[in-house]
Amino acid sequence: MIQEVPNTVIQDEYYAAVDLGSNSFHMVIVRVLSGSVQIVSKNKRKVRLAAGLDDNFNLSEESIQRGLDCLKTFREQLDDIPRANIKVVATATLRIATNAVDFVTRGERILNQKINVISGEEEARQIYLGVAYTSANQGNTLVVDIGGASTEVIIGRDMQPLHLNSVDMGCVTFMERYFQNGIINEANFDNALSAAEEMLAPYAATFKCFDWQQCLGASGTPQAVVSILVKQGINDAIRLDYLHELRDQAIACRHVDSLHIDGLADSRRLIFPSGLAILIALFKQLNLNNMQISGGALREGIIYGMLDNYQRADRRTQGINQLVSRFHIDTAQSDRVRKVAMALSRQMCAQSNFCDFDTEALISSAAALHELGLHIGYKKFHEHGAYILTHVELTGFTTLQRMFIRDLVGMHRQEIDLAIFNNYQQDFKEMLVNALRIVRISVILCTRRRDDTIPAPALTVNNHVWHLRFGDGILLSQPLVHAELIHESWLQHKAGWKLICE
């Protein structure tokens, strides 16, 4: 069966985290129930506090008032939550503002709650914890968060940050400094990029000494880039060539008022060029090949930090278990298909170049959730499952990984839609093809929904030619499974793959 997660937290309580950032103020409220953390409310206001800093790092009264007005809107919801379950933190702008105490004193009076102005190091630590709680990682992970006035870069392993830095550059401060009056041109971009690279240079060598297995971007500019890619039908990680293309598109628009890129939210237009310049600098200075989006950041780190006895061990298991329970999936069948898929996956990965450390986890998750859509109805339930996975949270997985699982569930039966593979880069495409074949075969082998009738074939992989060997008489003793495999061989043949079963 799918692993049970101990229920160690207080039942049915509400918690709130408030993040007073340099660009936006955020409030997230969660409900803790039956071992799960459920987001019930998010509130985000563009305050652009950092834009109110003058040359002497003094906050203007106008920017202070924008922030205080936002806190008044937050106060109403916070009044309904126990004070001990609320934490308010302020970051870069209030760290450096000479009159920060004025804002903090007035803000605490409004909220009736202490405002904690945290150091850059503490901000980086909390960001990493938020990423680690929501995006399961394996081995060393590089985490990047581009804020309004600071950028945090962290190397960590599982729940432990190993090395971290907070650099005094952000999308709001760089916007004010290098893209004055909203003008976007090549010179402005080059100046912003050079400044960001110069500020990162003292830290780059240390970070490159760590051998990290993945790079995760935490919200902000990386999320904006991924939103653009998704809108444009590109299911891929962030890569430097995409960033250069976006830079050229932004320069062609000449001014932020005319900055219209398909998938770019209006709320991010003003600070997108400056954030993009910093992101390009990070890719170049740290020699990044690609970056995926994490499931959380600072606010999630604050929330989970308040849940001292929350089970940390396996966020992915928690996410899968929550969906299995919520959509009434047959846990016995889910577990059968998952175990068969994992066994075949290990045979396949031993013979294939298109596996990474997450391949087995993604196959296992899709196998566990393959009957998700039965909650809606049997007809086209694979498509229903894909639809659900498009719109629900799946804790422990990046955006690209959730797309991967969604497409595996959506194509685990009936005709194979080859057009979906075109949205992936070649390496991800090949991994998806192999993973899909594993899931489809596993579902067929568990057709009878009984533990004692599941055959265990040996799998031989030679590129797209797969050979399943069952042993003497096994297929003859299971004519239903045999018939399904014959049909599956035909469907895979139509897709350009060969499946031999004997």
Pairing mode of beta strands 465-469, 458-462: antiparallel
pLDDT value for 136: 62
Give whole-number Cα distances, 71 to 77, 108, 219, in Å: 11, 9, 22
Asked whether residue 2 carries a pLDDT value surpassing 50, the answer given is: no
Tell me: do 361 and 419 sit in the same domain: yes
Region 145-157 average pLDDT: 92
Angle of the 359-368 helix axis to the 315-326 helix axis, nearest 10: 20
Whether 219 is in a domain gets the answer yes
Which token pair is 391?
Answer: 């719109």
What residue has token string 């400094």?
A: 177
**Of the residues 297, 331, 355, the one at which a domain ends:** 297
Tell me: do 282 and 364 sit in the same domain: no
Tell me: do 251 and 262 sit in the same domain: yes
Chain segment 313-352, per-residue pLDDT in tens: 456 787 888 899 889 999 999 999 999 999 999 999 889 8
pLDDT value for 471: 86
pLDDT value for 137: 62
Q: DSSP state, 53?
A: B
Whether 310 is in a domain gets the answer no
pLDDT value for 430: 87
pLDDT value for 311: 46
How confident is residue 496, by pLDDT bands cut at 50, 70 and 90? very high
**Of the residues 269, 297, 325, the one at which a domain ends:** 297
How confident is residue 7, by pLDDT bands cut at 50, 70 and 90? very low
CATH number at residue 53: 3.30.420.40
Asked whether residue 303 carries a pLDDT value surpassing 70, the answer given is: yes
Whether 321 is in a domain gets the answer yes
Total domain count, the chain: 3
Whether 308 is in a domain gets the answer no
Tell me: do 356 and 427 sit in the same domain: yes
Task: Decide if 435 contacts 403 (C-beta within 8 A).
Answer: no
Tell me: do 484 and 407 sit in the same domain: yes
Asked whether residue 190 carries a pLDDT value surpassing 80, the answer given is: yes
Three-state SS at 43? strand
How confident is residue 270, by pLDDT bands cut at 50, 70 and 90? very high
CATH number at residue 197: 3.30.420.150
Burial 300-320 (b: 16+ CB within 10 A, else e): bbbbbbbbeebeeeebbbbbb
Task: Decide if 300 contacts 38 (C-beta within 8 A).
Answer: no
pLDDT value for 8: 41
**Of the residues 268, 297, 326, the one at which a domain ends:** 297
CATH number at residue 367: 1.10.3210.10
β strands within 180-256, DSSP E: 214-217
Which token pair is 422?
Answer: 């075109």
Tell me: do 461 and 363 sit in the same domain: yes
Tell me: do 78 and 106 sit in the same domain: yes
Whether 47 is in a domain gets the answer yes
Tell me: do 273 and 347 sit in the same domain: no
Measured between alpha carbons, how far is 342 from 362 in angstroms, rounded to an integer? Answer: 10
Asked whether residue 10 carries a pLDDT value surpassing 60, the answer given is: no
For residue 496, report the phi and psi dihedrals to the nearest 5 degrees.
Answer: 95, 15
Q: DSSP state, 279?
A: H
Chain segment 34-51, per-residue pLDDT in tens: 667 788 999 999 898 999
Tell me: do 360 and 264 sit in the same domain: no
Whether 3 is in a domain gets the answer no
Domain that holds residue 278: 121-297
Tell me: do 282 and 163 sit in the same domain: yes
Region 370-399 average pLDDT: 90
pLDDT value for 395: 77
Which token pair is 450?
Answer: 């009984």
pLDDT value for 12: 61
Measured between alpha carbons, how far is 312 from 129 in angstroms, rounded to an integer? Answer: 11
pLDDT value for 348: 92
Tell me: do 168 and 52 sit in the same domain: no
pLDDT value for 389: 94
Whether 1 is in a domain gets the answer no
Whether 5 is in a domain gets the answer no
Task: Decide if 202 contacts 285 (C-beta within 8 A).
Answer: no
Tell me: do 66 and 211 sit in the same domain: no
pTM recorded for the entire structure: 0.73
